[in-house]
Amino acid sequence: MIVGRLRTTERSRATRRLAALAIGAALAVPAAAAAHLERPSYWPDPAPDTSVSPPAGGEVPDARGLPSAVTGKGPGDVLVVCKGKDGSDSLRLLRKSLEQATGKGFYIRPSQPKYVLSEKKAQKLRRINRALAEDCKYDSIQQAVFNAGNNDRVVIMPGRYTEPKSRQAPLNDPRCNPSLLQEDASGDLTPSYEYQVTCPNDQNLVYVQGREVVGKPPSPPLTNRHGIPAQELGKCVRCNLQIEGSGAQPTDVIIDGGRAYKSKNPEAKPGELVKDVIIRADRADGFVVRNLTTRGALEHGIYVEEADGYLIERTKMFWAADYGNLSFTSDHGMYKNCDGFGSGDAVLYPGAAPETASQATSFYPDAPRINTVLKKCDMRGSALGYSGSMGNAVRITDSEIYGNTTGISSDTLSAGGHPGFPSDSSQIDHNLIYSNNLDLYRPDAPIKSLVPVPIGTGILYAGMNDARVHDNWIFDNWRNGAMLFTVPDALTNGGGAEGDIDPGVSCAGAPANGISTSCGNQFYSNHMGQAPKGFRFPNALNQFGVPHGETAGGNRKSTLPNGNDFWWHEWAGNTGNCWFNNTGADGTAGSVTGPGGHGTPPDVLPSDCATSVGPGDDAKTGYLIDCGDGPDEDTSPLACDWWQPPPRPGTAAAARKQNRTALAVERWEASVEAEALRDRLAELGYGP
């Protein structure tokens, strides 16, 4: 809304400064997913590599069942890792695990019922493990991986694996540092692929080299990130590798980058972290991890880089300081039946996912398609359940995302180092997204957050096109159910997009008009503010004392309102964003709340995708201004409130806060600061 305007000369210099700073902060879309630093990376060729048989990549690999590890069937050799002489310790641990698995049962995902193993299956597992023990030749996973080749399997028997030799490997090893560091165009250094291969345990507890080292990386890096450059693309040496636990439960095998635990509980928090990454799979097409747990990393639990085809199944990722799992510039990925918590950033992060949808080129002849699927996973107890900078064409489905500070965040903000600008075609469907109210911005926070994100938020899109958010239950997020921001092109950091911008950006006039994000997003058929019949909060939600509502009990639907269901930035000119067939806290469309308490017109969410155009809302931009400058302790009505726990929806405190903010917005609309903001937006070409 534009009201009376002061001439530029009438504005004070101080106000101009404030306004400019404010605009910048607002448009920066703060609190987005926070990326990571990596060598210049390329999307792998999506076609299967037929130089190995069966071919590697081209699709999500199938996991080979554990029984075939002892029958001799199937391609490749089986390398067995165990604890104790002839696996005696592993077999003892298995017996103990089976007692629990066949008795009380165990959780693969805490949100789901316990799984109880039948005695018949337990007996089969005993037989398999006894046979594996006879073949066991390794007590080190890394040594087994070193000795593995294409199509091989590394089977790990129950036990906690700390990989002492890897831990002892020198950090910043002079064999590799600095001689094998790789320069970007401006001379900044990162470890090259050859660095990782030559000094595999410098940063990694277990390193999987997928391909031979040949040649040097292009210098400077190529702007076309489609395909690993031929000059450094070696042949497969560990493609189609499978690493798996042979226990009854994923926690029977723990690969551990931490130490100084106070208990033997698999979920125990490490007192100290000693290695950056627990498993790094580098250019390892067709990579499979299943039935194990990674715990305690200075950075990431499982890191998949430049790979075509990977499957992470029946796997738990605990206490990674940064990401439980990080997949980067990788294609044909699947996470299934997984669980993670304790991440300072996100539990799962498929970043710089390939352009297989709106902006696909002939490099992806089968486009449009989803390139990465997260299915049946619990993402919980972390700063973010999921995040992905340039998370193109990633689908999250049939999962539960709960008890985080923010549940899901996907952004176009962190352009530097992340090819795939702008992010598009995220799909979030058939999930339960609830109670993401974890306060990590207090001195005694249970997890060390690496990134500031808004407390009480279900979904946060900071620059996304063509998303489809549908058929989810989104409830009990005390600030917002789902947020959609714009990231104008001028604000993608580090000098703009990383690599080429492929055609097909969905915003009309982009990229010439400088607005390439937040167009064509659809939110439909979601249940907002209600939990499904019979829903009960998992006990895991109480692990960090996350505040939440109360269910109705029995087999009834529970009313568990979000603070606000849909928050939309309403950026002027954004097209194709629509919300339809959603229901609110009382089960009707009329009870859906949005677009937000801080906004001015339209205050009605557009339902017609074909005609939806953002009207502009400077008040919301003003609200974001303060958030852009990071956490502080300002609690004035228009200050960013993301770092303070929101009041429980429906309470007098929530109503007071809403009223106070509405009044402040009214005052702000007529202020000199608001005028300056509007003028500045116009000067930048983002005005009416």
Partner 1 sequence: MSRWAPALLAVAALALGACGEGDSGDPASAGSTEDVVGVGPVRANSTAQFASCTDWRRGSEEERYATIADIRGQLTVQTDPDATSDLPDDATYAMFEKVCAPSYSDSLRLYKLYARAQAFAPLRTDLEQ
The distance of closest approach from Cβ of residue 34 to partner 1 in the complex, given in angstroms and rounded to an integer, is: 4
Q: In Å, what is the CA distance from 603 to each residue of 592, 606, 614? A: 11, 9, 11
Closer by beta carbon to partner 1, 535 or else 643: 643
As measured in angstroms, the least distance from the Cβ of 566 to partner 1 is: 24
Interface of this chain with partner 1, residues 448 to 467, rule: CB under 8 A: 448-452
Q: Which of residues 290-329 bind partner 1 (CB under 8 A)?
A: 298-299
Q: How many CA atoms lie within 13 A of 153 on its CB side?
A: 27
Using CA atoms, how far residue 295 sits from 164, 272, 323, in Å, is 15, 11, 11
Question: With CB under 8 A, what is the number of residues at the site for partner 1?
Answer: 79
Supply 369's token pair.
Answer: 């398609």
Indicate whether 613 belongs to the interface with partner 1 (CB under 8 A). no
User: Rounded to the nearest whole angstrom, what is the least distance from the CB of residue 198 to partner 1 in the complex?
Assistant: 13
As a whole number of angstroms, the distance between CA 573 and CA 685 comes to 12
680 scored as a contact of partner 1 (CB under 8 A): yes
**Contact stretch for partner 1 (CB under 8 A) within 111-119, 147-155, 269-277, 286-294:** 269-277
Shortest gap between Cβ of 62 and partner 1 (angstroms)?
35
CA 161 – CA 254 distance, rounded (Å):
6
What strand order describes the sheet that includes 277-282? 204-209, 277-282, 300-305, 323-328, 346-351, 384-389, 406-411, 457-462, 480-485, 566-568
The correct pick among 150, 414, 431, 518 for binding partner 1 (CB under 8 A) is 414
CB of 45 to partner 1, least distance (A): 21
In the bound state with partner 1, the residue whose beta carbon lies nearer, of 247 and 419, is 419
Give dist(CA 383, CA 344) in Å, integer: 6
Q: How far is the CB of 284 from partner 1 (least distance, A)?
A: 21
Residues facing residue 315 across a β-bridge: 292
Annotate each residue in 189-228 with x if it binds partner 1 (CB under 8 A) or - if it does not, as one string: xxx---x-------x----------------xxxx-----
Distance (Å, whole) CA 28 – CA 22 = 10
Structural tokens at position 612: 């939806």
- Is 677 a binder of partner 1 (CB under 8 A)? no
639 scored as a contact of partner 1 (CB under 8 A): no
Among 67, 75, 105, 178, binds partner 1 (CB under 8 A): 178
Q: Cβ of residue 349: shortest distance to partner 1, in angstroms?
A: 13
The answer to whether 546 contacts partner 1 (rule: CB under 8 A) is no
Question: Quick check: helix, strand or coil at residue 335?
Answer: strand
Q: Which stretch binds partner 1 (CB under 8 A): 36-44, 109-117, 558-566, 652-660?
A: 36-44
The identity of residue 617, as a single letter, is: D
572 contacts partner 1 (rule: CB under 8 A):
no
Span 484-543, contacts to partner 1 by CB under 8 A: 487, 490-499
User: For the residues of 91-106, what is the DSSP string, one character each?
Assistant: HHHHHHHHHHHHTT-B
The H or E element that residue 386 is part of is: strand 384-389
Under 8 Å between Cβ of 343 and 383: yes
In terms of Cα–Cα distance, which of 480, 516, 508 is closest to 612?
Answer: 508
How far apart are the two ends of the chain, measured CA to CA in Å?
10
Binding test (CB under 8 A) with partner 1, winner from 186, 263, 362, 588: 186
Mask of contacts with partner 1, 139-168, x by CB under 8 A?
Answer: ------------------------------
Tracing tokens 């069966």 back to the chain, one arrives at 54
Among 11, 30, 410, 593, binds partner 1 (CB under 8 A): 30
In 3D, which of 577, 457, 445 has the Cα closest to residue 506? 577
Question: Residue 28, interface with partner 1 (CB under 8 A)?
Answer: yes
Of 449, 404, 445, nearest to 541 (Cα)? 404
The number of angstroms, rounded, from the C-alpha of 259 to the middle of its chain's C-alpha atoms is 26
Q: Judged by CB under 8 A, which stretch of 99-107, 266-274, 346-354, 615-623 contacts partner 1?
A: 266-274
Q: What's the one-letter identity of residue 232?
A: E
Could you say which residues in the range 39-98 bind partner 1, by CB under 8 A? 40
Binds partner 1 by CB under 8 A, chosen from 276, 355, 378, 466:
276
Residue pair 596/548 in contact (Cβ under 8 Å)? The answer is: no
Q: Out of 172, 231, 539, 636, name the contact with partner 1 by CB under 8 A.
A: 172
